[in-house]
Chain A
Amino acid sequence: MTLVRYLMAGVLATASLPAIAQDQSTAQPQPTIQLPQPEGPRESITGTLSNERTVIAIPALATSSVQNVAGLRTDSLGRQIAEVIAADLERSGLYDPMGPSGIPAISRTEVQAPRFAEWQARNAENVVHGFVDASGTGGLVVGCYLYDTALGSELVRKGFEIQPGDWRRAAHKCADAIYSRLSGEAPFFDSRVAYIAESGPKGNRIKRLAIMDSDGGNHRFITNGQALAISPRFSPDYKKIVYVSYLNNRVRVFIYDVAAGSQKLVTESSNATFAPRWSPDGTQILYSMAVNGNTDIYRISANGGTPVRLTSTPGIDVGGSFSPDGKKIVFESDRSGGQQIYTMNIDGSNQQRISFGGGRAATPEWSPRGDLIAFTRMGGGEFRVGVMTPSGGGVRMLTNSWQDEAPTWSPNGRVIQFFRTTPGREGKSSLWQVDLTGVNMRRLPTPQDGSDPSWGPVLP
């Protein structure tokens, strides 16, 4: 899975380019574009197109010569990569991609000499060109360029030498470069999601740990479904998944090693342990433990050792999510009656309620940017996903459905995934994502029903 950034010199060299974003991974761009605000009733806008979206033409990537690399044809890959880039940009809600179907293919020489007038005539404000070539060492070289058709100038470029099986990652990296350049936001497409795949009757649901790319690609089941699996969280390095398994009819937190295919207990206890979360640096794990019916929150080293008890009220203290600087924890408690959201220091001191009014508030998740906390609001028999500031202000609800639960943040803190359940005997659970405007709502494709999404960081 190593994605080697290709040496720009030579292969991607062009004359007299300004030093724009040659490597966006070293310098985070400052936000320069405000996302559109929702207008009117959310229900009528959800899933429809905003007329402010930038049109971007994305023809199939060209190839110098059609070659077969590990069973993949470079010309076919050129089209597939363009399709993934277009789907990523469309799903962000900010752009209106055109192609690769229905627009002309480009030649290899056009990649660095676009026919700007033709793309302008198609009302494309931007055009993405790229190539897929055999590397000569069994791999692929993928390059992509973003141009402004009116200015006739290049805005950003990316180049990679990859193993053939990583072509989707190259596509996501290209989409990330385009998204970042145009929106001013940090990238998020080249990231992964752990979640629970659901099947079978509602009264005896089979729930399996599964992982996939942020767009649903490269899907893989992890557990076989014999033991109920819930609430997974990817470690920051994607090497491990912490989750709850009902293995041997007990409720316990396990750390699953993705490469080894083995798992170990987070802590040895006769009590139920659940609701696990990683610290941002991956060295600590938060979990909840019920002792004689009373649930409190604990913190333990990811390598084991003695857990530290952080809460001690008689009520249910559960869940918890670290702030990105690792200094604070947001969690839920019913110590005041119904569930509400609280913050505390990581040693358990300074516990303060931050959510007030409007029903119950649960499942808090601190944004990786630190500026917001996503949560589930419960009221009137419905669950909705919303955000608030870490001090509890600026509450905005982003969804409006029967049951939207358990938000998880995109790596750049601009998009939230959650799961939606529909009511009744035939009710289903599915994964969705919405941006911070609440306007751009999309269902994520999964082979079965899905719940409990956990979005990890951008891959290096």
Chain B
Amino acid sequence: MTIRKSTAMIAAITMLAVGACAKKAPDTLPPAPEGTGTDTGAGTGTGVVPGSQEDFLASVGAMGDRVFFDYDQYNVDAQDQATLQTQSQWLQRNPAVRVTLEGHADERGTRDYNIALGERRANAAKNYLASLGVDPSRIQVISYGKERPAEIGSTEEAYAKNRRAVTVVIGR
């Protein structure tokens, strides 16, 4: 229990520090908690395997696994930062877990360009997680361009949901 509390406190401090300096990542970061194999907090008692995709989603919340981008943009804005901070807390509680960052684009770009754009978005999210202290070697990137829309449709609402970078747990 004590470990979990201190982790939460560090996370809270991290969030404050980052929130204070807008889009720039903090120069120095609190060290990742040591000696924690896997978080024993969030998942216990619910049948969810700690460190699993289910555990991740339960921790970061619905849609907390993804950040969204404007049309043809890949900057990580304040809302994205908050989302990625929540992800980084879980990732630091589960230091053995590896993830894939999937970059996606809406259907209003040509195929090859959208793959490049998805790469930009996934790397922007990866770089931000790395700036929060997540070892970048734990994060692999793949761009799906416009091949895998989350929301089917040709509306602004669908496009907004499809311009995304999604963090997916792939195991240890």
- Report the interface size for chain A: residues with CB under 8 A from the other chain: 45
B157 touches A (CB below 8 Å): no
Counting CB contacts under 8 A, is B138 at the interface? Answer: no
Please pick, from A378, A381, A424, the residue contacting B110 in the complex, using a CB distance under 8 A. Answer: A378
With a CB–CB cut-off of 8 A, which chain A residues contact B121? 293
For chain A, residues 331 to 355, give those with C-beta under 8 angstroms from any C-beta of chain B: 332, 334, 338-339
Report if A272-B110 is in contact (Cβ < 8 Å); known contacts: A202-B152, A203-B149, A249-B100: no
Q: How far is the CB of B132 from chain A (nearest CB, A)?
A: 17
Closest to A363 in B: B110
Assembly CA distance A319 to B56 (angstroms): 37
User: Which residues of chain B are within 8 angstroms of A421 by Cβ–Cβ distance?
Assistant: 107
Of A202, A272, A319, A339, which is within 8 A of B119 by CB? A272
B112 within 8 A of A: yes
With A203-B149, A203-B152: A249-B112 Cβ-Cβ less than 8 Å: no
Chain B residues whose CB sits within 8 angstroms of the CB of A203 once the complex forms: 148-150, 152
Within 8 Å CB of A427, what residues of B? 154
With contact pairs A230-B147, A290-B116, A316-B116 given, residues A424 and B111 touching in the complex (Cβ less than 8 Å): no
| Shortest Cβ distance from B124 into A: residue | A293
Partner of B115, one of A251, A363, A383: A251
Shortest distance from the beta carbon of B101 to any chain A beta carbon, whole Å: 11
Are A292's CB and B113's CB within 8 A?
no
Q: Which of B72, B107, B150 contacts A338 (CB 8 A)?
A: B72
Q: B124 — which chain A residues lie within 8 A by C-beta?
A: 293
Q: Are A424 and B153 in contact (CB under 8 A)?
A: yes
Task: Count chain B residues whose beta carbon lies closer than 8 angstroms to a beta carbon of A.
Answer: 30
Is B147 a contact partner of A316 (Cβ separation < 8 A)?
Answer: no
Residues from chain A with Cβ under 8 Å of B72 in the complex: 334, 338
Question: Which residues from chain B contact A292 at a C-beta distance below 8 Å?
Answer: 123, 127
In the bound complex, residues from chain A placing their C-beta under 8 Å from that of B109 are 378
A366 to B112, CA, bound (A): 17
Chain B residues with CB under 8 Å of A405's CB are 110-111
B143 touches A423 (CB 8 A): no
A195 within 8 A of B: no
Which residues 377-399 in A have Cβ within 8 Å of B in the complex? Answer: 378, 381, 383
Enumerate chain A residues within 8 angstroms of B122, measured Cβ to Cβ.
293
Which chain A residues border B143 with CB–CB below 8 Å? 251, 272, 290
Give the chain B neighbours of A274 by CB distance below 8 A.
112, 115-116
Per the bound structure, the CA–CA distance linking A223 and B65 in Å amounts to 32
| Chain A CB within 8 A of B93 CB | no
- Known pairs A272-B142, A290-B116, A293-B124; list 7 more (Cβ under 8 Å): A251-B142, A292-B123, A295-B119, A316-B120, A338-B72, A362-B110, A405-B110
By Cβ-Cβ distance, the 3 closest A-B pairs, closest first, are A293-B123, A423-B154, A290-B119
Q: List 7 A-B contacts (CB under 8 A).
A: A205-B148, A249-B142, A288-B116, A290-B116, A294-B120, A338-B72, A381-B108
